[in-house]
Amino acid sequence: MKQSIIINGTKHEINVDSDMPLLWFLRDELEFTGTKFGCGKGLCGACTVHVNGQAIRSCITPVSTLVDKQITTIEGLSENGDHALQRAWLNNKVPQCGYCQAGQIMNAASLLAVNPAPTIEEIEASMQGNICRCGTYQRITKAISEAADTLSKEA
């Protein structure tokens, strides 16, 4: 029997080589192209998705290690693109070229899930592995802080 993984709530049979990194499975097999390829070596964060709520680098995570786990990609973070982080991203006009931003948002979402009221230092420490070649770091930090405030008011 084929093994499967659950992506954004839907079960998908693993019909590829089990060594294939999740990023390739997402982009090439399922056409979830919101998750980006940056370095392919776990160094930049462009490919960040959640596995059971935790941020991981999908470029270095073989699909075979994810059987029956819950994967969330940027497409599944919210139903209508209206997660507090996505709203704060728009409000603060965070992206420049945009390439790194899905990974940034997914990493930020996993931070807020465990630390709903992070300090600026905690945000910077948590986000330091997500590289932005356009240098949008200040806006990213501001947007995460704003999203945390919004979530605390909405709770």
Nearer to ligand FES, 45 or 149 (CB): 45
In whole angstroms, the minimum distance from the beta carbon of 154 to ligand FES comes to 27
Residue 26, CA atoms < 13 Å, CB-side half-sphere = 29
In whole angstroms, the minimum distance from the beta carbon of 36 to ligand FES comes to 7
Nearer to ligand FES, 130 or 147 (CB): 130
Judge contact between 51 and 66, C-beta under 8 A.
yes
Nearer to ligand FES, 27 or 83 (CB): 27
In whole angstroms, the minimum distance from the beta carbon of 106 to ligand FES comes to 11
Nearer to ligand FES, 50 or 57 (CB): 57
What residue ranges bind ligand FES (CB under 6 A)?
37-40, 42-47, 57, 59, 95-101, 132-134, 136
In whole angstroms, the minimum distance from the beta carbon of 76 to ligand FES comes to 18
